[in-house]
Amino acid sequence: MPTGVHLRDARQQLFDAAERVLLREGPDGLTSRAVTDEADCAKGVLHRHFGDFDAFLTDLVLDRAARLETQAAALRESAGTGTVADNLTNALTTLFGPVPMAVIPLITFRDELRARLRQARSGGGIAILAEATAAISAYLTEERERGRIAADADIDSLTLSLVGGGHLLFTDHTPGPPATADITRFVTGAISGAVPEHPA
């Protein structure tokens, strides 16, 4: 009986397979067997690279969270261009895209995974939301320094409103993400008191 194909970059191929299963089946369907079947490899391949399935899931979440750093850098670089509302709308659409939105319930679903993420890094227990929070906070701080956010704006409160409200907006909208106009309306309302009438 065939045991599957040889994986040249086993870790990344297993991560990619797990992502596909997660998007298709949700957290309940993400098992080690489902991952190796999706990757078309022997079950032993996963255990050769990871101590157990929770170790695999921990590295998967950290890998996907790290990918958000690229989007975070792009958001910071957008400071001073376009409008603050448009930049934040685009950021939320990316930060709460299909993969992050699939990973968040996976973290919620598995107690052991949350525990291992907390051990792996500060704020790791909510890895994806922590990345989104850091990205939004850094961007708002940059815009405040440029005078496009009020000097007395409470960045922590604004960030909490945008990340918490944004997460709820994307979670509560099925099928697919909310319309861009709905995201912009939410963002505009969230930052309305913090954007000067005549920004610098």
pLDDT band at 3 (very low <50, low <70, confident <90, very high): very low
Say if 59 falls within a structural domain.
no
Residue 4 pLDDT: 44
Say if 88 falls within a structural domain.
yes
What tokens were used for 50? Answer: 């990871």
Residue 198 pLDDT: 60
Question: Taking 90 as the threshold, does the pLDDT of residue 171 lie above it?
Answer: no
Contact predicate 124/108, CB 8 Å: no
Say if 180 falls within a structural domain.
yes
CA–CA separation, 182 and 184 (whole Å):
5
Q: Tens digits of per-residue pLDDT, 120-144?
A: 877 666 778 888 999 999 999 999 9
**Count of domains in the chain?**
1
Residues in CB range of 64: below 8 A, 6 or more apart:
15, 19, 99, 100, 103, 128
Residue 147, phi-psi category: left (phi > 0), alpha (psi -120 to 50), beta (remainder):
left
Say if 2 falls within a structural domain.
no
Say if 91 falls within a structural domain.
yes
Q: Look up the domain containing 120 and give its range.
A: 70-191
pTM above 0.85, yes or no: no
Residues in CB range of 129: below 8 A, 6 or more apart:
104, 163, 167
Contact predicate 33/27, CB 8 Å: no
Q: Tens digits of per-residue pLDDT, 89-110?
A: 999 999 998 989 999 888 888 8
Say if 112 falls within a structural domain.
yes
Burial degree of 70 (CB within 10 A; 0-12, 13-18, 19+): exposed
Say if 46 falls within a structural domain.
no
Say if 196 falls within a structural domain.
no
pLDDT band at 68 (very low <50, low <70, confident <90, very high): confident
